[in-house]
Structure 1
Amino acid sequence: MAIVITNGEYYIYLNEKGKHRKTKNVVQALQYNTVREAINYMYKAPAKTDGFYVYDTFENHVLWKRLSRQEKIELQEQKNGIANVKRRSDGRIRRKKYSKTARTLVYEKYNGRCQLCGRQILLSEMSLDHVKPLSMGGVDDVSNLACTCMPCNRFKANIAPELFENRINDIFMYQTEKNTKHKLKWKIAHRLLLSCIK
């Protein structure tokens, strides 16, 4: 792991006089021993590192970044949503019991189709899914419910909708590629499918 501080264009490095400066040359970038060491420098020099983040050049991903004001607000709102969720004595989230009328309204809103797999289901087979999971700050209200079949709801669990869709797409693409006997057909289909889901 090569831990550096960058803004995507410039890197922090030490010049001949031992002063922290900026360079475009990743080879000159100062490599920190730990993420904590890099973060500590960013806290000591907030003006110099404004817009910068701690980055792993081997794995090519961000290890830490300073949150913007808007990101801090969103994070606090999410924490508040989770903090306001009622829990049972065993720590699990306490969910509302919805009346038959409320369940019927959700069922009719989605024309009796599972909103994850698209299968037509009976009202008696319907499982209510929180679109934004309660564990992620979603509200336990009819406005946050979707009609799903039990297997799909269990598979989705408490994953955010966009992450669930990405996971399903990844699984589908991998399994299809693995089971395709004609590699040229798969290459063509793969490109077409990618253009449809992105």
Structure 2
Amino acid sequence: MAIVITNGNYYIYLNQNGKHRKTKDVTQALQYSTIKEAIRYMNHAPIKTDGYYVYDTFTNHVIWKHLTPEEKIELQEQKNGIGNVKRRNNGRIKRKKYSQATRKLIYNKYDGRCQLCGRKILFSEMSLDHHIALSMGGVDDVSNLECTCLPCNQFKSNIAPELFEDRINDIFMYQMEKKIKQPWKWKAVHKLILSCIV
């Protein structure tokens, strides 16, 4: 994933003096290693980045932007809709119960593999995960369910899918850095891994 900041015409880049500037050349665009890093810059320089957004050049999707007043109202209305979801006495969202036949269909759809770690699991070990968490506005419907193992489902919790991927990448990179004791080896491996996951 290549994370850049753009307004659709210009991209943020670093000039020779290390100053943030704007360019029309996407190849010069500053690529951020994480979404959080790009958001941090956007929040640090709100006037310079007015009308800009964080963009993934690999998937061609806007992944974060400052909201307009209208978008804030729309988001609040969506949140209010989430608030109308049926809840238990303890405040937790009341989830649908899916039949064994439905669970078997989901298991077969994903070939019995956990969709978070890729491990082959038994049907009895399967946990149903809402791809987009109910607390994040996801629907409690078969179209939003995937097959996971229980440890992965519990680890993911209600994190948005793209933030979960970033978290896994951050954890992996940190653990690898701790294991590889020679700094020169880590620099080479780090670049190679980033080229594969970015």
* 1:86-140 deviations in Å (ceiling 9; x for gaps): 1001111111111001101111111100000000001110000000000011100
In the TM superposition, residue 78 of structure 1 has moved relative to its aligned partner by: 3.2
1:62 counterpart = 2:43: yes
Match of 2:168 in 1: 168
| Letter of the structure 2 residue corresponding to residue 169 of structure 1 | N
RMSD of aligned C-alpha atoms?
2.2
In the aligned structure 2, how far is the partner of 1:81 from the partner of 1:151?
Answer: 30
> TM-score, normalised on structure 1?
0.65
- May I ask how many residue pairs the two structures share in their alignment? 140
1:104 alignment counterpart: 104
Contact 1:78–1:136 under 8 Å retained in 2: no
Q: Please name the residue that 2:156 is paired with.
A: 156
- Secondary structure of 1:135's match? helix
Matched with 2:179 is 179
Which letter does structure 2 place at the counterpart of 1:188? A
Q: Which amino acid aligns with 2:111?
A: N
Counterparts of 2:189 and 2:41, CA distance in 1? 29
In the TM superposition, residue 181 of structure 1 has moved relative to its aligned partner by 1.9
The 8 Å contact of residues 81 and 138 in structure 1, kept in 2 or not, is answered as: no
Q: Which runs of 5+ in 2 are unaligned?
A: 1-39, 51-65
Looking at structure 2, the residues matched to 192 and 74 of structure 1 have their Cα atoms a distance apart, in angstroms, of 41
Where in structure 2 are the equivalents of 1:12-27 lying within 5 Å? none
**Deviation (angstroms), 1:84:** 2.9
After superposition, the Cα gap between the structure-2 partners of 1:74 and 1:188, relative to the gap in structure 1 and judged at 3 Å, is farther
Equivalent residue runs for 1:25-104 within 5 Å: 62=43, 67-68=67-68, 71-72=71-72, 74-76=74-76, 78-104=78-104
Q: 1:135 — aligned with what?
A: 135
Deviation at 1:197, TM superposition (A): 1.2
Larger Rg: 1
Please tell me the residue identity of whatever aligns with 1:195. Answer: S
Decide whether aligned partners of structure 1 residues 60 and 144 sit closer, same or farther in structure 2, where only a CA change above 3 A counts.
closer
Q: By how many angstroms is 1:74 displaced?
A: 4.9
Code of the aligned partner of 1:79: K
Aligned position for 2:190: 190
TM-score computed with the length of structure 2 as normaliser: 0.65
